[in-house]
Structure 1
Amino acid sequence: MKDHYFLERVTQNNVTVDILNIDTNDAAVHGASQVCCQCYGYRWKYTQAPGDTKDPCKNTVRGDRVCAGGDVEMYDKCMERIDSWAKASFDGATKDLMASTADFKIINTHYSPHFHMDPPHMQKWYDLTKTHQVHGWFNGHTHGFNHDVAKWNTHFFQNGAGGGIFSESATTVANNDQVKTTWVASGQPYGFLELSFTKSWMKVQFVSFDKTWDFKGFDFGDTTKGGVARGHCWFVPKVLDSPGVECKSSVNGVVGMPT
C-alpha cells in the first residue's frame, strides 16, 4: 500500500467505484498487541529448551518479559502509533464517504470487524458502513474465503487465500445479531474474489483452479497449467434496499484446490 489510508477511484463504462484502502492493524486478533510485543522474537531469550513445547506468546500481555522485553513505555508508544494510523484511516474514510458520488463504495483492508476486532472497534466500523451505505468490505488475514451480509445490506467478504502461504478453512459468524454468514468456501482452496460492475449491480464471484491443473510438487516447470473454476457468486445492488441475489451460476460446494 502506498499509505496507511488512501482512496482510489475507478471509472469505466460510466460506472464509478470508490475503493477505500484502510489500516486496521489496531485489531485485537494478531494486530497491534502482537506487533508491539514482538513475543516471537523475545521468547527465545528466555525459552530455548528443545523439549519446551509451551507457547508463551498465546497469552502474553503488556509488561510480560516476553512482551517488548517487559518495557511498557516502548510497548505503549508502539500501540499509540498503530492506533493513530487506524484513527487516520477512520477519519479519512468518513470524510471521503461523506463526499462520495460513486455508484459503488468498497473498503479494502487486512482485518474483519467481526472476526478480528473487539466489540467497540467492530461497532465503529459497522456504524460507518451502515451510515455511508458501503457496498462491500474485503479483508484477508484468515487464509480462507467467506461471505457475510449485514442487516443494513453491506456485504463482508473474506478474501485471504491468494497463495504464497498455506490456505485454511474460514468460519461462520457466531454470537453476532448484526451480520449473518451466507457462504464459507468448502475445503481449503486457493483463489480470489472477482469483481465486475454494471450501473445497477456489483457482481462478486469466487475464482480458483479447475480440475485440469496438475501440480507436481514445488517445481513450477513440472506443473500442467489448467483453467479457472468459478464458485460462489452474488449480485449486490447499487441501492442497498435489499441484500441482493445469488447468481444462477453460483456454486457453493467444493471449487478449486487444494480441497
Structure 2
Amino acid sequence: MIKTGAPRTLGRRASEARLRFDTELQETGGGARRRLLVVDDEPAFELSFYCGTCPFLFRRLEGAREKLSLEGVQERLTGALDDPDEGGVIDAFGTLLPQGEYLPLLLSVEPRLVAPGREGDYFSGEQVITWGVDQFWGLPEYPHTPYYRTFETAVHANAHLYEFVVPMVPPTWNDRERVEEYVTLMGQGTVPTAVAISTLDVCEPAAGMPIDHYQHWGLTHFLLDGHHKLEAAATAGRPVHLLSLLALGEGLAGAEDCARLPTLRARPRSDRSDRA
C-alpha cells in the first residue's frame, strides 16, 4: 500500500459508460443468472455469484477483447504515481466508469503471471481445498484467461485475502516490442503505473462443505491501462504501481469490509500455509 484516497463519486450514467456492472436474468422466472462486468454493452467477465456461498470467480467472456487505455494520460503513467490524485488520472478514467462510489487505492505490486490449471493457479489450488471441484463438471473453476497474482494475507484466523490483476485481453495479444521497452525501462529503475477498476468479493462455503472451511476475500483488479507494464514486470521480476478504483457497492462485500482493505493491504504478505 502506498496511499489511499477518500471515497468519491465518479462515472457516467450506465448508458454512457464503457463499463458497467449488470445482472443477467433467467429467460423464465426472472431470477438472477449471472453477475457480469460489461464492456461496450457486451458481457466481458462473469463474476462471483450473488449467493456468497458459491466459489469466488472471474471468468473471461467473449466481450473481453479490447484494452481501455486513454491516450491523454499515457505519458503520465509511464512513471510512478505517488498519490492517487496525481495528474488528474482518476478523473480521466472516471469517464469510462459507471456512476458510483469508488475508493482510490495506490498499490505497489510485484505481479506473477499464472495460467489456469498450472502451478500457482488459485482456482485449482486454494479454491479446491475449500470448495472442492465443481459438482457437475468434476473440475475446478476455469477463468478462461491467464491472470496475475500479486498479494495475499490473513484477514483473521478464518479468512484470507487473495489479490488478482486480470487483463482485459490475454498477454499473448500484447505487442512484444512494447513489453520489451518496459522491461528495459524497469531495468533502469523506472516504476510505471497501471490503472484498474476493482471489486471485493467475500465468499464462504455453505456449512458441511469440504476440507478447509474459511472465507476467501477476493480483491480483483480488472486492468484498464497497463497490459504491457504488468507483463513486463512479471517477466523482469520488478514492481509496478497500480491505481485501483474500488467500486463500492458492486462487490460481494459490505462497507465495513471495504473500509478494512487499506489496513489489510498494508500488512506483510503471508500465504494460507503461514497461519498458526
Normalized per residue, the structure richer in strand is: 2
Q: TM-score, normalised to structure 1's length?
A: 0.27
Normalized per residue, the structure richer in helix is: 1
Q: TM-score, normalised to structure 2's length?
A: 0.26
Give the number of the structure with larger relative contact order, counting CA–CA contacts within 8 Å between residues 6 or more apart.
Answer: 2
